[in-house]
Chain A
Amino acid sequence: MSIDEYNGSAIVAMTGKDCVAIATDTRFGVQRTTITTDFERVHKMGPTLYVAMSGLVTDAYTVAARLKYRLNLYELRENRPVNPKVFVSMVSNLLYERRFGPYFSTPVVAGLDPTSGKPFIAGFDCIGDPTIGTDFVTDGTSGEQLMGMCEAFWRPDLNKDELFEAISQSLLNAQDRDSYAGWGAQVYIIEKDKVTKKILKARKD
């Protein structure tokens, strides 16, 4: 039993044309036992910047809280919403501080650049190595399954409805092949002027 599989999660972020989507499962489990099926993994970091945390739930909470703290201070000093690239550096720095006793939780960032509106997604390893994605980024115990599904469904310049379909199907089918993730799914579609949260009908097993 690996510490990364103690709680279980499925997280995917995808880019579209002037929009991004981030989707997660909603299971909170402790090894084989499911505790709750409406667990929120996605945290809002800015009007068009969202972060989803995978892995060990206690560290997911801690990292999200510490990130929000640093982000709030940044925005108070700079008086503007943070740029996703800068945010990635912030995340990377926070995780690397624990290089020899890491957080067992990795964030997936999805957002739009506040000025240009360009889609932006990024994934990390547990010590902060950032991967800025061009198409999609996956994480969690279903990471590999999600990679395969996304490769099949993603294509460039998806509009927001096509993006929603692609990310939803990728998530639902990938998490069905993972016993530690699933029990519900939700998608956030992030556009320049609004963010829509949709709850998917998923297999509850």
Chain B
Amino acid sequence: MDFSIGIKGQDYVILAEDMNAAHSIILNQQDHTKMLDLNDHLLLARTGELGDGVQCAEYLQKNIQLYQLRNGYEMRSNAAANYIRKYLADSIRSQEPMNVNILLAAYDTISKEPQLYYIDYMGSMATVPFAAHGHGALFSLGIIDRYYSRSMSRDEALSVLKKCIVELKKRFIVNYTSFNVQVVDSQGIHQLDRIVA
């Protein structure tokens, strides 16, 4: 029942996710952050099993940091995305597969390009202009299709995001009270105001 959404612009990527932490029918927390900075220019939003998500995200974060310590420079976005993909592809055929879907927002400081990667729990990966995971995706993708353009400003992207949230509030059975929004750009990862549905 998680939801995450990413929108890529000319020089930024906005990632947003719901803040519910639920187990079965019980909502444990309504302000739980599920996004994690993997390094200065990599942001990971995850949906799926909560426990798996934490283990997976922290493991990836530590390994990406280790790469940086060993080599003296940040892991590039494409390398990190493929590393994460392989981790999930190996996991799906192991004894205990990780049930985590990932949206990876990145800013490649060398090519000066923002990137958004859609990686599902089996390790399928695609570079996308916008994407969403979870049941909420079925409601949101059509809305973003209608209003998206590569040259849109951050405010325009946020307004499209808000349109999606309004739609979820109206038509989706799960009640998301608030959404955590972060943006990745050349300066790094920034926290934006939470969107309260």
Chain A residues within 8 Å of B, Cβ to Cβ:
7, 28, 30, 33, 35-36, 39, 56-59, 61-62, 101
The answer to whether B124 touches A62, judged by C-beta atoms less than 8 angstroms apart, is no
- Supposing A33-B137, A33-B141, A36-B118 touch, asked if A58 and B126 sit within 8 A by C-beta, the answer is no
Residue of A nearest to B92 (CB): A58
Known: A36-B127, A57-B122, A58-B92. 10 other contacts (CB 8 A): A30-B120, A33-B138, A36-B118, A57-B125, A58-B123, A58-B124, A58-B125, A59-B89, A61-B89, A61-B124
The answer to whether B124 touches A28, judged by C-beta atoms less than 8 angstroms apart, is yes
Residues of B within 8 A of A36 (CB): 118, 126-128, 131
CA of A55 to CA of B51 in the docked complex: distance in angstroms? 30
The answer to whether A57 touches B118, judged by C-beta atoms less than 8 angstroms apart, is no
Chain B contact residues: over half helix, strand or loop, or mixed? mixed
CA of A35 to CA of B103 in the docked complex: distance in angstroms? 12
CA of A84 to CA of B89 in the docked complex: distance in angstroms? 28
Residues of B within 8 A of A35 (CB): 118, 126, 128, 131
Residue of A nearest to B125 (CB): A61
Q: Sample 23 A-B pairs with CB under 8 A, ordered by A number.
A: A30-B120, A30-B124, A33-B137, A35-B118, A35-B126, A35-B128, A35-B131, A36-B128, A36-B131, A39-B126, A56-B124, A57-B122, A57-B126, A58-B85, A58-B88, A58-B92, A58-B120, A59-B89, A61-B123, A61-B124, A61-B125, A62-B123, A101-B93
**Nearest-CB distance from A120 to chain B (Å)?**
29
Q: Mark B58-80, 1 if CB is under 8 A from A, else 0.
A: 00000000000000000000000
Residues of A within 8 A of B89 (CB): 58-59, 61-62
CA of A56 to CA of B92 in the docked complex: distance in angstroms? 13
**3 tightest A-B contacts by CB?**
A57-B124, A58-B123, A58-B122
- Supposing A33-B137, A62-B89 touch, asked if A56 and B122 sit within 8 A by C-beta, the answer is yes
CA of A39 to CA of B131 in the docked complex: distance in angstroms? 14
Residues of B within 8 A of A33 (CB): 137-138, 141
Q: B92, B124, B125 — which one has the most chain A CB atoms within 10 A of its CB?
A: B124
